[in-house]
Structure 1
Amino acid sequence: MTGRDTDASPALRLGFDVDERVTAVVSLSRAGRTIAKRTVTLAPGSRALDLLVPAKTAGGSARLTVSFTDTDGARNVVTRTVTVPRRNA
């Protein structure tokens, strides 16, 4: 897919490098409210994921939380502060 419609929702591109099959729950929040959430199953290797952010979301910092769960039930949670792109009017 090339280009982007000006009315389209912005996306955060996330990269993962996993050693085994995992389920990832990706959540973007700000001020305690969830802005976007997605659950995916990732095969071993390097993977990319686009998390669509609602168009009405203002740009600025937000908290990204990714919870990985493997087939044995072991869980690992990673949290980062990210910047949501500002929309051009």
Structure 2
Amino acid sequence: MPVFTKMSLRYTYNWPEDVATEISSSDDDVIDIKNGYHVLNYINVFFARKGLTSTDTFYKLEFILNERMPSTLETRKEITSFVLKAWNRIFYN
């Protein structure tokens, strides 16, 4: 299963030095959508849990996180719930 990297991202993110090694995959984790490490970790964990591998699917998920997700959602659990409900309603080109 591919693990996506910084080079895979289409949006611009912050890359704070102190965050790179402090990310887990708990449902209670707060995900900062402006933080590249958080976004990459979120997408890679989501893909692993759902058995996804497609680059197009990666871009769709990144699009949802950046363009469609309400800014009030913060935890991995809240974000995943939104993504799963919105997945088939949101068309990405």
- TM-score when scaled to structure 2? 0.23
The structure richer in helix per residue is 2
- TM-score when scaled to structure 1? 0.24
Bigger Cα Rg: 1
The structure richer in strand per residue is 1
